[in-house]
Structure 1
């Protein structure tokens, strides 16, 4: 066994194929669209006559999803190769630490979105003792933010897979 390997078992070869990368991008897009559908469904239920309560989705309910979406945008804007450079690479600009700070801010925005969704669920629905069909609006907020986080992780990993047979052409 090689001395520089971290894990005992090697990584499967099919994991670095172009088809796996494409499937990951499509899966991330599907999860993101399901997340937005869940939030829009809860908002439409909130304003429908079927909602017989005084609970409605307002802008406060949308803020965590907005933060999660912005965090996803920030995280997936960073190239993985920028993170592994040292402080003196790229003409001494220190791009690696800047990329790490921006990546941290993106993850912090997504974590803040998820925490905000939980806070909205607890403070607006659980503390006020909302019954189940109405409490779904708060649960939908948490599920939306969780799916956006999962979608972001899948998209970042699938976009940054390394393939020996893929060429990056730059002008």
Structure 2
């Protein structure tokens, strides 16, 4: 086993080191991301329709967790796996690994904060006031949307950082 792998106990299966699997992972990540946003946008449109039948509507506070999750996804997927290794000095000198780990931690904190925030919005705005099931769907869609964005982030990071022995990265 190589000494520069991130996951030492769980090596990547051989069938995953394929360009087609990598491309399918990127497409699956996009599908999960768009499904998460669709669920939340559907709930936002439904909240302001006449069929809602309640005084509870989606406001900017409901959007904040999804914005945090999306920003966290952008931060996490801007980090390459090779930058997390301590022996990677080729990029910009000393201290690249701890900077990359710090930025990766901040990205995960944004995503976790987004998911926790959506659960808090669900509990405070919908469960505590004992909203009807149709109205509570708006809070559940917020949580599901954030969870799908989080899952999309994981799928995209793993699929982008797969190692392929037959792929060459050329940089000028």
**TM-score band, normalised by shorter chain:** over 0.9
1:89 aligned partner: 89
Instruction: Show CA shifts across 1:5-49 (max 9, x none).
Output: 846xx7532111000000000000000000000000000000111
- 1:42 matched to 2:43? The reply is yes
Alignment of 1:63-74 (within 5 A): 63-74=64-75
1:78 aligned partner: 79
Over the residues paired in the alignment, what is the CA RMSD in angstroms?
1.7
Alignment of 1:93-112 (within 5 A): 93-112=94-113
1:22 aligned partner: 23
Q: TM-score, normalised by structure 2?
A: 0.91
Q: TM-score, normalised by structure 1?
A: 0.92
- 1:136 matched to 2:134? The reply is no
- 1:161 matched to 2:169? The reply is no
| Segments ≥4 residues shifted beyond 4 Å | none
Alignment of 1:139-154 (within 5 A): 139-154=140-155
Where in structure 1 are there 5+ consecutive unaligned residues?
none
Cα separation, 1, equivalents of 2:12 and 2:39: 35
Question: How many positions carry a matched residue from both structures?
Answer: 166
1:107 counterpart SS class = helix
Instruction: Show CA shifts across 1:54-101 (max 9, x none).
Output: 000000000000000000000000011000134x82464301000000
- 1:32 matched to 2:27? The reply is no
